[in-house]
Amino acid sequence: MADTDNQPRRALGLFRIAGIRISLDISWFIIFALVLFALSAGYFPRSYPGYDTQTYWLAGFIATLLFFTSVLIHELSHSLMAIRCGIEIPEITLFIFGGVSKLSQEPKDPKTELKISLVGPLSSFALAGVFGLIAKILVGAPTLLVAVFQYLSWINVALGVFNLIPGFPLDGGRVFRAIWWWRTGSLTRATKVATDIGKTFAVALMILGALQIFTGLLISGLWLVFIGMFLRGMSARGYEELIIRKSLEGVPLGEVMIRDVVSVPPSLPLNQLVHDYFLHYTYRGFPVVSDHAVLGLVSLSAVRGLSPEEQAKTVVADVMMPLREGLVIAADASLAEALARMVQEDADRLLVMQEGRLAGLVTKTSLLRFVQIKQILET
């Protein structure tokens, strides 16, 4: 949970569905190209000979596009169910290993967790049925066209089955966590058990991948190793995030907020902002204040890439992030609420307001330091 507000985003925002931002991680383009190549130059020509190269690539493009649409629908089903259960979902990101929905908070009870977890695989199985039905309706059409929908039916079954493996953070792991949570009454204990299973499954995938590499199946073996490494990391991070959330529950915001906030005027040239503020205070962002009114936030990313001449001609007001409700939190809120707001808004700092005036600033860095010190004192 590093202070990354001023790091360049690796995700490309596309559009919104039901208020949820849909983004593509840079790594998504890699997997899109790999799947497209595997289908267009491998699977379809090998399984359905007799067509020209252009037709194979067209079929591969359609199949690849509809496959990732299926992944998006899978994640959307999770997100829409979460919203229905009162959990805000600010973003869905598609990346090299599929997709992930960003939950602003943990489910409140096992039943909610179960609903959110199961709807994803069920949507994949439903899509498999729809694509299978289309393939049957198209009987008599060109064989390659039917093959596209047969592939989509099969791959959605595979997607649903894979996600039902009982290892956190896969959907099956979350289902297992919900059941264990219901039995023990402890979300932390249930997450720990589900995480351990997830790590075990990840290691098993890596071992299987290594065996495939040694038997000559280099590409599929490497793919299993990478997926295993990814799942292992995701399992560990999921448990760590839960521990952090638990550590912040009930702790007032005043425990970690910065009270002596350094602000900048909107008319300040960027070259002075760099030398007199960023380099002097070594902070990564500042509130923009004029006549005691907070106008917005300016971060290091606003000046990155600008030449000294451009910095001298540009003022803070030209590049600041205008103040919006999501970047403000009340002084009587808890640290857990602040973390949930940061996740929801994809922000790394919040302005703490009291009676309409700036009372302080809270950052993810300060939250992380608080959790680290608390964990050290409790061990």
Query: What distances in angstroms separate CA 176 from CA 68, 118, 134, 229, one per listed residue?
Result: 26, 11, 34, 21
Question: Is a pLDDT exceeding 90 seen at residue 64?
Answer: yes
- Domains of the chain with bracketed CATH: 11-248 (no CATH), 253-378 (3.10.580.10)
Which pLDDT score, from 0 to 100, does residue 308 have? 86
Q: Are 323 and 294 in contact (CB under 8 A)?
A: yes
Mean pLDDT of the chain: 84
Which pLDDT score, from 0 to 100, does residue 7 have? 35
**Residue 318's CB: how many other CB atoms inside 10 A?**
12
Which pLDDT score, from 0 to 100, does residue 4 have? 32
pLDDT tens readout for residues 322-378: 888 778 888 888 787 787 777 777 777 888 888 778 888 888 878 878 777 776 765
Listed range (47-56, 98-107, 366-375) with the worst mean pLDDT: 98-107
pLDDT tens readout for residues 252-276: 777 788 888 888 999 999 999 999 9
Determine the Cα–Cα distance for residues 203 and 170; give it in Å rounded to an integer: 15
Q: Are 353 and 330 in contact (CB under 8 A)?
A: yes
Q: Are 144 and 55 in contact (CB under 8 A)?
A: yes
The residue among 94 and 211 whose pLDDT is bigger is: 211
Say if pTM beats, i.e. exceeds, 0.85: no
The closest of 142, 35, 38, 40 to 97, measured between CA atoms, is 35
pLDDT tens readout for residues 75-84: 999 999 988 8
Residues in the chain: 379
Query: What distances in angstroms separate CA 128 from CA 56, 115, 356, one per listed residue?
Result: 22, 20, 53
Which pLDDT score, from 0 to 100, does residue 207 have? 92
Which two three-digit tokens encode residue 65? 């596009």
Question: Is a pLDDT exceeding 60 seen at residue 1?
Answer: no
pLDDT tens readout for residues 115-165: 999 999 999 999 999 999 999 998 878 889 999 999 999 999 999 998 888
The Cα angle at residue 181 between residues 103 and 157, in degrees rounded to 5: 60
Which pLDDT score, from 0 to 100, does residue 10 have? 56
Phi, psi of 251 (to 5 degrees): -90, 125
Question: Is a pLDDT exceeding 60 seen at residue 202?
Answer: yes
Which pLDDT score, from 0 to 100, does residue 377 have? 66
Confidence of residue 70 (pLDDT cuts 50, 70, 90): very high
Which pLDDT score, from 0 to 100, does residue 65 have? 94
pLDDT tens readout for residues 271-321: 999 999 888 888 888 889 888 888 888 888 888 888 888 888 899 999 888
